């Protein structure tokens, strides 16, 4: 059975904007799937429907046998621990230190009293430091997050997501706020972590080259609908071109 | 406004200008009429006497420097009242800000309306009025003064805090939610760090303002240096009353200087 | 770097981090302790008996529920009171207009970038503004009453002072933010300082100054409602009288009227500022 099974997800925003018109995706244990589409195609909404940062109107999301869409609030919070999310705008808490940002990945499982005093468990602190070393920001752990460069911030975002010991990584346009060279470094880092730790990733991207280079499979999204779903190796250029029809 | 009118109606420029001058003239006449009524008519000019006499009376208020050391303790008292009043306002403002911040207020618009109502009441009632009410309920002393300061500044604190909460950037909150954190942790890690520096700045600003406010509360018996001023005036020791004013002025200037220094360093 | 080396590196960092955290906790504890001690000391200095604090809620509740409510609004409608409200408004207008006439030149002379003389005029103008802000208005009003006698004249002068402080500071800040090239352009034509002010400075700050003027009136009006407490004219006189004879319902009627008027003045000032900008 697939690790993540999304079926018939629909979402219309309160503004009347239709984001998703019934999308199915399934994702196996160790693959990297790129969701390719233009901005406005619904890919960010799709990722947020998986952990219900955006509440889908209908459809189901099954993660590791758990029906996410049916969970109540506290069960949903528990389920979210299994899904690490990495954001386009990094979404770090700027006034906290790098280490505190990374450790905020444990908030789902740590006690409320500890979180009031920002007193993280020593073993979590140690694991957070090891993750910082792994993503290459160990020298900056005591700096405030707003003192870092874009690439370094995204590394903090990656470490924060890994801190959750996720079963899957949901990655939303990770390189769109970075220049191409730094973006490639970040993608290299994520794909090597995914391979080494066996964590599957669902990455939304709008860049065909990135999708081709880093994914095992590409899902094309257009106007809230899935228009193709192929192994990256076999995906034909015609399909890829179709995505950009609207633009040309 | 009038420039556009001029372009649209090339035949009417004279009238537009005329109307404007007529308005200026009317305003000036109104001000003069007020001056006539409440200054010329209602003042007892005979009592006032000549300019020389007025100057002599004013000179009686020249501060008596020998008295200055005695002003220090009441000044300290005033400062401590300001501290406690600010602390009280800060404590009360947090729940009220929670109710008055549109994006997090529960039972909208009920609690929101209540929060806003408290803010408006607090901000539009002068500290002297609060002080009078508290003195009449609790008797003389610094306690009613502290309560008055608290009530007076809770509105400003709650308003600015609510605004800071309303202007929070949603990205980090989304990220904290995505880790599986509950509402309390999202507030502590997503909202608090963003609001905190603004909040600290406002607390210091309020402390500075409350120092000024605290210095007059004694006039109605609510503690602090105002009491000394009232006593000296009653005993017609004008030079000592002048010293009190000098002391307050110095304290307020020093307070404002430090408040500005700290706040610019925070930003 | 081998993974062993990396692990031992992390260990070192981790140990030093935990040690720092321990020191930080001790510091926090010390500061907390000092704050508490200071708090206790201040209560002692202020001479506030704790049992009085604990027993204050009863009288406060009685005050609000029985003595203050309901406010007697008929009292406010009496001609004497209405006349005093009108007097309050007139005082605020006069005091603020007069204060603005002084605040504007002070703002010009006390703005570092355009002041005609930085060694003498600038510090003098600044001192006027700073002192006007720092002297408490109500005490100033008492001094003025002692010199000029009871009545709105003293109140008007007190408002004059507070307007100089309030508007002077804000207006000077606006002047210091202007575009100096336009000022220099006027100066380059050979204009004297007064002409530079009217042609180079005033046009740039006019909208902001208009806004500040309206705001000053709003603030002055708030202040004017209590000047009567010390005999300096306006409705405050009646408020004080009613409270001193313990006529709380009428006093509360007046307070309600003050709050209503302040909210109205704020709304009016808000409306005018948006309309004129």
Hey, where are the domains in chain C?
3-68, 73-276
**Strand A58-63 relative to strand A66-67: parallel, antiparallel, unpaired?**
antiparallel
Q: Which domain holds residue B226?
A: 65-266
Same domain membership, residue B138 and residue B90: yes
Tens digits of residue pLDDT in C194-227: 888 888 888 888 888 888 888 888 888 888 888 8
The confidence score (pLDDT) of residue B210 equals 92
**Chain C from 211 to 240: CB within 8 A of any B CB:** 222-223, 225-226, 229-230, 233, 239-240
Tokens, residue A78? 């528990």
Same domain membership, residue B29 and residue B70: no
Least confident of B61-75, B146-160, B235-249: B61-75
Cα separation of C196 and C194, whole Å?
5
Where chain C has pLDDT below 50, the residues are: 1
The confidence score (pLDDT) of residue A248 equals 44
Q: Which of B164, B171, B180, B266 to mutate to test the interface with A (most CBs of A within 10 A)?
A: B180
Contact C90 B42 (CB under 8 A): no
CA distances from C98 to B228, C102, C114, C164, C167 (A): 31, 7, 23, 9, 12
Contact C57, C65 (CB under 8 A): no
Same domain membership, residue B36 and residue B128: no
Contact B174 A81 (CB under 8 A): no
Does residue B56 register a pLDDT over 90?
no
Cβ partners under 8 Å of residue B11, min gap 6: none
Least confident of B50-54, B181-185, B216-220, C266-270: B50-54
Out of B178, B194, B197, whose CB is closest to A80?
A: B178
Tens digits of residue pLDDT in A194-217: 999 989 999 999 888 888 889 999
Q: How far is B162 from chain A (nearest CA, A)?
A: 19
Cα separation of B191 and A95, whole Å?
11
Three-class DSSP category at B50: coil
Contact C139 B245 (CB under 8 A): yes
The confidence score (pLDDT) of residue C2 equals 55
Contact B219 C47 (CB under 8 A): no
The answer to whether C168 contacts chain B (CB < 8 Å) is: no
Tokens, residue A109? 């499982």
Contact A116, A71 (CB under 8 A): no
Q: Which of B129, B130, B239 to mutate to test the interface with C (most CBs of C within 10 A)?
A: B129
Q: What is the distance between the terminal CA atoms of chain A, rounded to a whole angstrom?
A: 39
Would you say residue B60 lies in a domain? no
Does residue B243 register a pLDDT over 50?
yes
The confidence score (pLDDT) of residue A157 equals 94
Percent of chain B at pLDDT > 70 equals 90
Contact B39 C94 (CB under 8 A): yes
Task: Scan for tokens 């998986």, then name that residue.
Answer: A50
User: If one looks up domain C73-276 in CATH, what number appears?
Assistant: 1.10.3720.10
Cα separation of B103 and B99, whole Å?
10
Q: Which of B126, B138, B259 to mutate to test the interface with C (most CBs of C within 10 A)?
A: B126
Q: What is the mean pLDDT of each run of 10 residues along chain A (248 residues)?
A: 86 89 87 88 90 90 89 89 91 91 89 83 90 91 90 94 92 90 92 91 89 90 87 81 64
The confidence score (pLDDT) of residue A152 equals 93
The confidence score (pLDDT) of residue C191 equals 85
Would you say residue B193 lies in a domain? yes
| ipTM, interface predicted TM-score of the complex | 0.89
Contact A91 B196 (CB under 8 A): no
Domain count, chain B: 2
Domain boundaries, chain A: 1-79+202-248
The confidence score (pLDDT) of residue A131 equals 92
Q: How sure is the predictor about B48, in pLDDT bands with cuts at 50, 70 and 90?
A: low
The confidence score (pLDDT) of residue C31 equals 94
Higher pLDDT, B169 or B35: B169
Compare all CA atoms of chain C with the CA of A134 and give the residue at the minimum distance.
C6
Tokens, residue B232? 């000296």
Compare all CA atoms of chain C with the CA of B42 and give the residue at the minimum distance.
C151
**Chain C from 93 to 132: CB within 8 A of any B CB:** 93-94, 97, 130-131
Task: Scan for tokens 């002025």, then name that residue.
Answer: B249
Q: How far is C10 from chain A (nearest CA, A)?
A: 6
Q: C: neighbours with 3+ CB pairs under 8 Å?
A: A, B
Cβ partners under 8 Å of residue A151, min gap 6: A178, A182, A185, A186
Cα separation of B8 and B11, whole Å?
9
- Give phi and psi for A202, each to the nearest 5: -115, 110
Would you say residue B48 lies in a domain? no
Q: How far is A65 from chain C (nearest CA, A)?
A: 35
A1-79+202-248 has which fold? Rossmann fold (3.40.50)
Out of A89, A90, A164, whose CB is closest to B179?
A: A164
The confidence score (pLDDT) of residue B6 equals 45
Tens digits of residue pLDDT in B199-221: 888 899 899 889 999 999 988 88
Contact A91 B175 (CB under 8 A): yes
Name every chain A residue with its beta carbon within 8 A of the beta carbon of C7: 130
Provide the CATH number for the domain around residue B82: 1.10.3720.10
């Amino acid at each position: 059975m697939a690790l993540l099974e999304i079926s018939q997800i629909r979402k219309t925003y309160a503004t009347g904007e239709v984001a998703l018109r019934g999308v199915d995706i399934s994702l196996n244990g160790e693959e990297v799937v790129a969701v390719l589409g233009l901005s406005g195609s619904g890919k960010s909404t799709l990722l947020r429907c998986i952990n219900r940062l955006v509440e889908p109107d209908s459809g189901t999301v099954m993660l590791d046998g758990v029906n996410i869409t049916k969970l109540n609030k506290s069960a949903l919070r528990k389920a979210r621990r299994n899904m690490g999310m990495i954001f386009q705008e990094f979404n770090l808490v700027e006034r906290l230190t790098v280490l505190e940002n990374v450790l905020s990945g444990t908030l789902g499982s740590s006690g409320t009293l500890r979180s009031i005093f920002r007193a993280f468990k020593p073993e979590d602190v140690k694991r957070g430091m090891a993750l910082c070393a792994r993503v290459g920001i160990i020298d900056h752990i005591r700096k405030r997050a707003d003192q870092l460069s874009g690439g370094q911030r995204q590394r903090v975002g990656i470490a924060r997501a890994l801190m959750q010991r996720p079963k899957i990584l949901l990655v939303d346009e990770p390189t769109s706020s970075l220049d191409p060279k730094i973006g490639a470094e970040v993608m290299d880092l994520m794909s090597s972590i995914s391979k080494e730790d066996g964590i599957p990733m669902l990455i939304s991207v709008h860049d065909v080259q990135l999708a081709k280079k880093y994914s095992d499979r590409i899902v094309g999204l257009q106007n809230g609908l899935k228009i193709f779903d192929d192994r990256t190796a076999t995906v034909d250029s015609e399909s890829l071109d179709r995505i950009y029809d609207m633009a040309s | 406004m009038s420039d556009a009118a001029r372009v649209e109606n090339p035949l009417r420029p004279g009238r537009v200008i005329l109307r404007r001058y007529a308005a200026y003239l009317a305003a000036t006449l109104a001000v003069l009429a007020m001056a006539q009524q409440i200054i010329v008519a209602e003042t007892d000019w005979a009592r006032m006497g000549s300019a020389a006499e007025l100057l002599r009376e004013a000179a009686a208020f020249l501060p008596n420097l020998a008295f200055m050391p005695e002003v220090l303790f009441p000044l300290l008292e005033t400062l401590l009242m300001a501290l406690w009043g600010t602390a009280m306002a800060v404590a009360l403002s947090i729940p009220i800000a929670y109710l008055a911040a549109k994006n997090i207020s529960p039972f909208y618009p009920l609690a929101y309306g209540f929060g806003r109502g408290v803010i408006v009441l607090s901000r539009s009632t002068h500290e002297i009025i609060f002080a009078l009410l508290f003195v009449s309920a609790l008797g003389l002393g610094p306690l009613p003064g502290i309560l008055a300061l608290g009530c007076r500044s809770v509105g400003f604190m709650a308003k600015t805090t609510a605004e800071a909460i309303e202007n929070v950037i949603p990205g980090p909150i989304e990220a904290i939610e995505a880790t599986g954190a509950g509402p309390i942790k999202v507030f502590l890690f997503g909202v608090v760090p963003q609001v905190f520096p603004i909040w600290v700045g406002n607390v210091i600003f309020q402390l500075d303002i409350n120092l000024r406010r605290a210095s007059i509360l004694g006039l109605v018996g609510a503690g602090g240096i105002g009491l000394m001023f009232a006593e000296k005036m009653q005993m017609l020791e004008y030079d000592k009353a002048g010293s009190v004013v000098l002391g307050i002025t110095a304290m307020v200037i020093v307070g404002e200087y430090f408040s500005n220094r700290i706040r610019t360093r925070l930003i | 770097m081998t993974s062993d080396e990396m692990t031992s590196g992390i260990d070192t960092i981790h140990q030093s981090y935990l040690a720092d955290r321990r020191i930080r906790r001790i510091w926090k504890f010390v500061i907390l302790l000092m704050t508490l001690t200071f708090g206790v000391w201040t209560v002692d200095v202020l001479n506030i008996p704790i049992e009085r604090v604990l027993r204050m809620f009863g009288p406060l509740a009685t005050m609000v529920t029985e003595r203050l409510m309901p406010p007697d609004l008929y009292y406010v409608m009496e001609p004497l009171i209405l006349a005093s409200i009108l007097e309050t408004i007139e005082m605020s207008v006069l005091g603020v207009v007069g204060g603005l006439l002084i605040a504007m030149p002070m703002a010009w002379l006390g703005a570092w970038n355009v002041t005609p003389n930085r060694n003498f005029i600038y510090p003098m103008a600044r001192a006027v503004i700073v002192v006007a802000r720092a002297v408490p208005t109500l005490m100033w009003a008492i001094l003025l009453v002692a010199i000029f006698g009871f009545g709105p004249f003293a109140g008007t002068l007190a408002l004059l002072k507070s307007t100089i402080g309030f508007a002077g500071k804000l207006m000077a800040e606006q002047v210091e933010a202007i575009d100096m090239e336009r000022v220099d352009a006027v100066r380059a034509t050979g204009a004297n300082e007064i002409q530079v002010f009217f042609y180079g400075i005033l046009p740039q700050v006019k909208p902001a100054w208009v806004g500040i003027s309206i705001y000053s009136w709003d603030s002055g009006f708030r202040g004017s409602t209590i000047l009567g407490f010390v005999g300096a004219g306006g409705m405050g006189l009646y408020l004080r009288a009613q409270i001193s004879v313990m006529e709380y319902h009428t006093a509360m009627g007046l307070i309600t009227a003050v709050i209503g008027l302040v909210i109205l003045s704020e709304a009016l000032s808000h409306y005018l500022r948006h309309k004129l900008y």
